[in-house]
Amino acid sequence: MTNVLELRGITKRFPGVIANENVDITLREGKILALLGENGAGKTTLMNILYGLYKPDEGHISVRGKQVEIHGPNDAIAQGIGMVHQHFMLVPVMTVTENVMLGIEPTKNGLFLDKEKVAKRIREISDQYGLEVDPHAYIKDLPVGIQQRVEIIKVLYRQADILILDEPTAVLTPQEVEGLFKIIDTLIKSGKSIIFITHKLKEVLAVADDITVLRLGKVVGSIDPKEATTEILASMMVGRDVSLVVEKQPAKTGEPVLVVENLLVRDERQHVTVRGVSFEVRKGEVLGVAGVQGNGQTELVYALTGLLPLEDGTIRLLGEPIRHTTPREILERGVAHIPEDRQRHGLILSFPIHDNMMLCTYYKNPFAKGISLQEKSIFSNAEELVKQYDVRTPNIYVNAGTLSGGNQQKVIVAREFSRPIELLIASQPTRGLDVGSIEYIHKQIIKKRDEGAGVLVVSSELDEILALSDRIAVMYKGQIMDILDADKASKEQLGLLMAGVQLSDKQKMK
């Protein structure tokens, strides 16, 4: 068996950081190599080097035993290397055909685009690999699962036989993930080799032939998937033993904290994104809101926290209605909000940690007296919280932007949890965090639940929803498809609901 691709001694330095250090990677022909690592471990940098988007400082790349220089995407494509990017590289206002042909356009009479030729080729590729797609559809009209097929077709159209899939499952429903795995299987059978980049442990075990784990830019080791378990992989990724299961007692629920009825919300572009949503969150329970991103979860949270006005329906917080209520009033009634985008909405990155630690109470005692801020209590508050929530930072005076994602999230959690709260709204609380930080944040959320707060967790990671929730609501196209008890819900049921399929009674029984 030959190695189609070898990376040897790849080192890439950015100002102040070493993104990759002496990385060796081997891809065997017709096999799937899983490249596993936390965010920031250097997976994407490495693949961008391979694809010619970055230039390595040291090391070399061999394709089929021959050392090659890759200076740009064109060189990579010429070597048969194709990349499916994590954020799709598709032009939404163009058709599938136009997107596929971009860069290597065949012409009629040497001048005009030959779209029919490309469309025909796309149909051939579709048939060969089971990648069904309409060549004349516009990208903006296609669901993400199909868009991903277009990305794969783009790569195959360029006759790549080494495919790099960068976090391909991040935006898919469980059913779409199944479909993707089938496609990967077909690709392998027709002789392609695949590098599969992910941080999801179960997927790695499901598809990989070889596993290489990266941590902090270095290769930690390679392991045979037959010998690997999720626990082994997790500790390789993090560098210590981690608990992947959130331990929690059964919920002791009390009266409702939040009651939402027939909520209708429009987003900033006036599209109705939440239509007729009703649910309640009780004291001492976690209600998880599952769903593929962009099904109205963001706007739901915005409406609950006063960031978007209600179009229709009612929200009651501890019995009091919320309507034309400012975000500050909502916070003062005991709502803590961990926003979806911590860098834009959760923190002011160019402010020091001590100021970020009091952003929602800066105007009150003991942080302010009259018109002046009380530095002494601001500093002591921050010192205390940094210690209590284990924020890894040189001191409290550095800007929040200099912290890692996990520590930024800890700052937000520390700030929000430092005041008395009745309801916690956590939106994508662990997105992009390393396994260690995820474990910590999850523990904190469960702790708040056990202290008697109502918790609403919105997440597109099903594993997270299942780990935290007592009840699970699934959102699809702005509506709640169903609310299930977490201990009775299965991944398959949730996956169907996330795809907009109503469960029959039989499916519910399972």
Q: Between 93 and 371, whose beta carbon lies closer to other proteins?
A: 93
H or E stretch at 329: helix 327-332
Cα(490)–Cα(442) distance, integer angstroms:
20
Interface pattern 217-246 for other proteins (x via CB under 8 A): ------------------------------
The answer to whether residue 159 forms part of the interface with other proteins (CB under 8 A) is no
Instruction: Determine if 136 is a binding residue for other proteins (CB under 8 A).
Output: no
Which residue, 91 or 398, is less far from other proteins as judged by CB?
A: 91
Distances (CA, A) of 128 to 30, 124, 409, 476, 491: 17, 6, 45, 32, 30
| 321 forms part of the interface with other proteins (CB under 8 A) | no
Does 113 engage in binding with other proteins (CB under 8 A)? yes
264 in contact with other proteins (CB under 8 A): yes
For the chain, the residue count is 510
- CA dist 500 and 348 (Å) reads 37
CA distances from 415 to 56, 349, 379, 410, 434 (A): 40, 15, 13, 8, 21
In the bound state with other proteins, the residue whose beta carbon lies nearer, of 55 and 189, is 55
Is residue 77 a contact residue for other proteins (CB under 8 A)? Answer: yes
58 contacts 9 by C-beta, under 8 angstroms: yes
Alpha helix (H) ranges present in 62-212?
73-78, 96-101, 115-129, 144-157, 174-189, 201-207
Query: Does 470 sit near other proteins (CB under 8 A)?
Result: no
Q: Does 83 bind other proteins (CB under 8 A)?
A: yes
Minimum Å distance from CB 121 to other proteins?
16
Contact yes or no for 236/205 (Cβ under 8 A): no
- Residue 151 CA to residue 171 CA, distance in Å, equals 14
Number of other CB atoms surrounding residue 427 within 10 Å: 25
Site size toward other proteins (CB under 8 A) is 32
Nearer to other proteins, 105 or 384 (CB): 105
Cβ proximity to other proteins, 101 vs 462, nearer residue:
101
3-state DSSP assignment of residue 325: coil
Site for other proteins in 386-405 (CB under 8 A): none
85 sits near other proteins (criterion: CB under 8 A): yes
- Among 2, 112, 350, 506, the residue binding other proteins under the rule CB under 8 A is 112
Give the range of 89-97, 175-183, 234-242, 300-308 binding other proteins by CB under 8 A.
89-97
Q: Which is nearer to other proteins, 248 or 477 (CB)?
A: 477
3-state secondary structure labels for all residues of 246-294: CCCCCCCCCCEEEEEEEEEEECCCCCEEEEEEEEEEECCCEEEEECCCC
Indicate whether 51 belongs to the interface with other proteins (CB under 8 A): yes
Q: How far is the CB of 99 from other proteins (least distance, A)?
A: 8
By CB under 8 A, the residues from 91 to 110 that bind other proteins are 91-94, 98-99, 101-105, 107
Q: Which is nearer to other proteins, 358 or 475 (CB)?
A: 475
From candidates 272, 307, 348, 359, binder to other proteins by CB under 8 A: 272
Least separation in angstroms between residue 117's CB and other proteins is: 13
Task: Indicate the residue among 73 and 334 with the shorter CB distance to other proteins.
Answer: 73
- Tokens standing for 155? 């790569």
Element holding 335 (H helix, E strand): strand 335-338
Does 259 bind other proteins (CB under 8 A)? Our answer is no
Q: Is 329 in the site for other proteins (CB under 8 A)?
A: no
Looking at the Cβ atoms of 93 and 509, the one nearer to other proteins is 93
What single letter denotes the amino acid at residue 114? D
Distances (CA, A) of 182 to 170, 206, 210: 17, 12, 18
Angle between helices 174-189 and 115-129 (to 10 degrees): 90
Least separation in angstroms between CB 478 and other proteins: 9
Q: How far is the CB of 502 from other proteins (least distance, A)?
A: 13
Q: Are 44 and 197 in contact (CB under 8 A)?
A: yes
Q: Does 121 bind other proteins (CB under 8 A)?
A: no
Is there binding between residue 276 and other proteins (CB under 8 A)?
A: yes
**DSSP class of residue 502?**
P
Under the criterion CB under 8 A, does residue 73 sit at the interface with other proteins?
yes
H helices within 20-112, ranges in order? Answer: 43-50, 73-78, 96-101
Shortest spacing between CB 266 and other proteins, in angstroms:
9
Which structure tokens are listed for 190? 């027709």
Q: Which residue, 401 or 436, has its beta carbon nearer to other proteins?
A: 401
DSSP 372-383: EE-HHHHHHHHH
Residue type, 144: V
| Binding of residue 1 to other proteins (CB under 8 A) | no
Distance between CA atoms of residues 202 and 118, nearest Å: 37
User: Is the CB of 136 or the CB of 488 nearer to other proteins?
Assistant: 136
Q: Please pick, from the candidates 17, 89, 206, 398, the single residue that binds other proteins as defined by CB under 8 A.
A: 89
Comparing CB distances to other proteins, the nearer of 480 and 489 is 480
Residue 499 binds other proteins (CB under 8 A): no
Q: Is 53 in the site for other proteins (CB under 8 A)?
A: yes
Q: Which residues are near other proteins by CB under 8 A?
A: 51, 53, 72-74, 77, 83, 85, 89-94, 98-99, 101-105, 107, 111-113, 154, 264, 272, 275-276, 477, 479
